[in-house]
Amino acid sequence: MEPGDQLIRYADVGGREVAWTSVGSGPPLVLGGWWCSHLGLDWEGPAFRRLVAALAEHFTVIRYDRPGGGASGHDDPPPADLDEELALLEGVIAVAVGDEVRVSMFGVSSGGAVSSRFAAEHPDRVDALVMYGTFANGSEIAPPHARKGLLDVIGTHWGFGSRVLADLFLPEATAEERDEFVAYQRRSASRESAAASMAELYAFDSTGHLGRVRAPTLVLHRREDRAIPFALGADVASRIPGARFVELHGLDHFPWRGDQRAVTDEVLRFLGVDPGPRTAADPGASVTEPPVADLSPREIEVLRLVARGDTDQQIAQALVLSPHTVHRHLANIRTKLGVPSRAAAAAWASRHDVL
């Protein structure tokens, strides 16, 4: 199928009806299922669709919704553990490409756990493994009290819980974007399914299999990711023999938000494809950029700390300023640089060695 088309199919996998789809042409690139997805709603999002289309120009991109959510419906419970996640992924791959075809894996967020598990269990089937924004042990994502608090609010008040998650996953989103994501989550998963899937995520432990991965591996992680701490991505890479770790800039957890071109460029290069030059039309890219000299010395100081991942409060303390003054400096920086967000300013600083 062409990158612009999507046909959702259904398959019986272990007695459960699973929705899956494929777009593009070329060698198969399988996205491991993550916590909350919806094949139909995701495809309606321009940013998500643009990311998949960039990959689908060179690969057959295969996605699926886990039972208990998305287009797979809410009747069945979600997988209970990583073993069930692996069996589900194995079933989807068998239906989509058969039992003999080699694949590349792209594990986003919690999808990294099942993608790496498949690579460890089937070294003869995996050409390459890419993971983005992921972790080795779910219990390290947040302290015990924070994990319990989030599970409690999701399980008892999914409406409020979905808003908490929107703030966590989309720190730079507008109020309208957050509202849209809240609605998306509630359409993608029931309260019970969302709570069960989040509990499963926190229980994921990949430490036992990461060392057995033999496929060439790339691990990407945004330095300022507030959902999955940056250090956890570095930890994943350190556990896989020969893995390459790449630090990206940005606050948003999802790879299709922010400078998604930085993500797809790294993925495509690693998979042996030339992504081509960036243009002014690329989100996060700029052909002619203002020089550093356009910024005042104080603005450069603020920008350095933004690029380091500091919050406004931390910058205020470091520079002995009020948070309001820091906010004003950042607004001036974004205006002078012509960038739309804090993350884009950090990316600009990285490109110009303002660190």
Whole-model pTM? 0.77
- Convert the pLDDT of each residue in 102-123 to its tens digit: 999 999 999 999 999 999 999 9
- Convert the pLDDT of each residue in 229-241 to its tens digit: 999 999 999 999 9
Task: Determine the pLDDT at residue 288.
Answer: 46
Alpha carbon of residue 45 to chain centroid: 15
Which element (helix H / strand E) includes 314? helix 312-319
Overall fold of domain 292-351: Arc Repressor Mutant, subunit A (1.10.10)
Helix axes 158-169, 191-203, angle to 10 degrees: 50
Give which of 34, 69, 68 is closest to 201, Cα–Cα.
34
Topology alike, domains 9-142+205-270 and 292-351: no
Q: Give the three-state DSSP class for 83.
A: helix
Structure tokens at 224: 């300022």
The letter for the amino acid at 312 is: D
- On whether the CB atoms of residues 306 and 346 are closer than 8 A, the answer is yes
* pLDDT > 90? residue 287: no
Q: Are strands 9-13 and 16-24 parallel, antiparallel or unpaired?
A: antiparallel
Q: Are strands 244-248 and 217-222 parallel, antiparallel or unpaired?
A: parallel
- On whether the CB atoms of residues 107 and 93 are closer than 8 A, the answer is no
- Convert the pLDDT of each residue in 203-262 to its tens digit: 999 999 999 999 999 999 999 898 999 999 999 999 999 999 999 988 889 999 989 999
Name the residue ranges covered by the structural domains of the chain.
Answer: 9-142+205-270, 292-351
Q: Please state which CATH number belongs to domain 9-142+205-270.
A: 3.40.50.1820
Mean of all residue pLDDT scores within the chain: 88
CA–CA separation, 107 and 263 (whole Å): 13
- On whether the CB atoms of residues 152 and 163 are closer than 8 A, the answer is no
CA–CA separation, 184 and 82 (whole Å): 25
Give the model's confidence band at 2: pLDDT under 50 very low, under 70 low, under 90 confident, else very high: very low
Alpha carbon of residue 70 to chain centroid: 17
* pLDDT > 90? residue 65: yes
CA–CA separation, 193 and 293 (whole Å): 52
Give the model's confidence band at 297: pLDDT under 50 very low, under 70 low, under 90 confident, else very high: confident
